[in-house]
Structure 1
Amino acid sequence: METEEALISAFNTYDFIVRSAIDFIAVALLVGFIYYPKHRNKDFIFTFILFNVVNFMICCLLGAVKIKIGFAFGLFAMFSIIRYRTIAISIKDMGYFFVCVAMGMLNSLAFVDDNYTILIICNIVVLFLTFILERLDFLKNENAKEIVYDKVELIKPEYREQLLYDLNERTGLNIHRIEVISIDYLKDTALLKAFYYAKESEYVLPTSDDND
């Protein structure tokens, strides 16, 4: 009986060590080799790793409880509603936060039956997918910015090319379309919503024939 308990204890220790190694390597690759080279934000590295490790440890230590799955999802929900009110967090940073917390749950609670191959493959798939999506530089990201414009005469549809050219020259942005929000005839200004691509592309200057 004591031998059986000793074997179970040894297996639990071995299982914890293997899971810890898998989780640590996975989150280190995610944060150190995928996130940081692209974003260069050390503060989020601290947050991502800390949440991953704490979530992993809590799920491992309470893994023997029968309600461990429900508890894990409750813990995940608690983490997911945390908001940092001092700074604005981008959608992509929240995505990394989600992955770090989910990896902690996956590596601590997944049933492997003494075979960690599937668990390792799952981590590799998550890392590979994150790496590919992070480096989709060929996709253009459209942003919008409101601009108070002083040349009201150019907001007419027939002067669209001249308007785009003037806005690109003034702002240095790759603006490709404009929406007129409001016009103030007293101040002779217009409030425009300019849509531009974050990735720079070549802008073709209008010719004299186009201006005529």
Structure 2
Amino acid sequence: MSSAALVTADLVAITLLVFGLYFPRYRRRDMVVAILGLNVGVMAVATALATAEVSAGLGLGLFGVLSIIRLRSSELSQDEIAYYFTALAIGLLGGVKVSPAWVTPVLMGAILVILFVADHPRLFTNHRHQTITLDTAYPDESVAVAHLESLLGAEVTRLRVKKLDLVHDTTVVDVCFKLRRDQGSGDIPSGHPEFADTSLGL
């Protein structure tokens, strides 16, 4: 596949990723700029590395440096990290010639399809994940679970105590829970930032 065809495939894939998947679901303009800039930059550098006499280790090192810089500069949810690394992967695929030629667009398409399915709003729509601050110290996790189930009107599927403050009488928990069926309709689907790693004082 020619360099022009690779660039075209990359631009088509990243356009679908950003404007077809990410932005309609998350509505973060700053991440649109970051994902597009990252993808095009990685593709350009990967193309340059592919035409130069450099080792594969240098390319992998660049991949790691870009990841560390971006992830340390801003806190991202797990969902956004997936989109971020997808943009990296598509950019690398768009900058390296692979034989046979059909492998690159097939891999790009496979990545997009997998992300579309895995982050679909209808997948596990009743499941939620939150970081919650309770206004009582709960040394006994079973008591905390019972209180949360009553408070949220849901089934707690996983609970991890992040901080137990006996002095100020508070408990910070990381909790996964499943809403009842009658609560799931009309709510924001799981996987969206409004329900990912948020703090709630109770």
How far did 1:61 drift?
2.5
- 2:151 pairs with one of 147, 153, 167: 167
- Contact in 2 for aligned 1:23/1:107 (Cα 8 Å): yes
- 2:36 pairs with one of 49, 60, 64: 49
- 1:76 and 1:194 mapped to 2: Cα distance? 31
Determine if the alignment matches structure 1 residue 22 to structure 2 residue 13. no
Within 5 A, what are the aligned runs for 1:74-93? Answer: 74-83=61-70, 87-93=74-80
Cα pair distance change 1:165/1:109, threshold 3 Å? closer
Cα pair distance change 1:192/1:105, threshold 3 Å? closer
Give secondary structure in 1 for the equivalent of 2:98. coil
- 2:150 and 2:90 mapped to 1: Cα distance? 49
- 1:164 and 1:55 mapped to 2: Cα distance? 45
What is residue 121 of structure 1 aligned with on the other side? 106
TM-score if structure 1 supplies the norm length? 0.67
Q: Which runs of 5+ in 1 are unaligned?
A: 1-13, 205-212
Determine if the alignment matches structure 1 residue 39 to structure 2 residue 26. yes
Matching residue's letter, 1:131: F
Give secondary structure in 2 for the equivalent of 1:97. helix
- 1:160 and 1:79 mapped to 2: Cα distance? 40
- Contact in 2 for aligned 1:59/1:68 (Cα 8 Å): no
Within 5 A, what are the aligned runs for 1:45-194? Answer: 45-83=32-70, 87-112=74-99, 115-135=100-120, 137-139=122-124, 140-149=127-136, 163-164=147-148, 167-168=151-152, 174=154, 176=156, 181=164, 183=166, 191=171, 193=173
Aligned length: 177
Give secondary structure in 2 for the equivalent of 1:62. helix
Cα pair distance change 1:158/1:49, threshold 3 Å? closer
What is residue 7 of structure 1 aligned with on the other side? none
- 1:102 and 1:43 mapped to 2: Cα distance? 20
- Contact in 1 for aligned 2:128/2:179 (Cα 8 Å): no
Per-residue CA distance 1:154-183 (angstroms, 9 max, x = gap): x8x79986x457634xxxx74638788455
Q: Which runs of 5+ in 2 are unaligned?
A: 184-202
Cα pair distance change 1:175/1:20, threshold 3 Å? same
Cα pair distance change 1:97/1:32, threshold 3 Å? same
Greater gyration radius? 1
Structure with the bigger RCO (C-alpha within 8 Å, sep 6+) is 2
